[in-house]
Amino acid sequence: MKKWLLAAGLGMALATSAQAADKIAVVDMNSLFQQVAQTSGVSQKMKSEFGSRASELQRLESDLQTKMQRYQRDGSTMKAAERSKLEKDIQSQRQQLAQKGQSFEQDQARRSNEERAKLMTRIQAAVKKVASSQGVDLVIPSNAAIYNSSDVKDITADVLKQVK
């Protein structure tokens, strides 16, 4: 009798786990994020927003390189006042370039994070909508699953269609 109850309990546990597998899905968030970012033109937005500042930094760096080369080439033959003026100019331009470069990187990182957050919000809303429409109770990122059998539903393609 005990063996029969144990077998029945094991059968119910397997049936329950099979039902639970139907309500669990995985989604490839990395793939979704890359594809949505490409289609939404985030990189173009960022280039247009920061392109002029990047060009200015390149121009400043090129100008600084030219002055440094001139100093190395002609520094020993220059008059002391001219050499001192060039040294101060180079030092000033180095500081200006460092400050502008740091500000540029911070602004670009901040905007990049803002755009990422917008994309993640859109993706998460699409995941919720797809999961709800397909009767899925739990969606986990595919890279977070230690193991998943072929029975687990992958809703990545459906989410991508929903986001677009």
φ, ψ of residue 48 in degrees (nearest 5): -70, -35
Lowest mean pLDDT among 58-67, 76-85, 106-115, 139-148: 139-148
Per-residue pLDDT reduced to its tens digit, 107-119? 999 998 998 899 8
Q: Is the pLDDT of residue 151 over 80?
A: no
SS in 3 state form for the chain? Answer: CHHHHHHHHHHHHHHHHHHHHHCEEEECHHHHHHHHHHHHCHHHHHHHHHHHHHHHHHHHHHHHHHHHHHHHHHHHHCCHHHHHHHHHHHHHHHHHHHHHHHHHHHHHHHHHHHHHHHHHHHHHHHHHHHHHHCCCCEEEEHHHCCCCCCCCEECHHHHHHHHC
Per-residue pLDDT reduced to its tens digit, 32-59? 888 888 877 888 888 888 999 999 999 9
Take residue 38 and report the two structure tokens written for it. Answer: 């490409």
Mean pLDDT of 8-29: 60
pLDDT at site 22 = 62
pTM of the model: 0.65
Q: Is 162 within 8 Å of 124 (Cβ atoms)?
A: no
pLDDT at site 97 = 94
pLDDT at site 138 = 92
Q: Give residue for tokens 């005990």.
A: 2
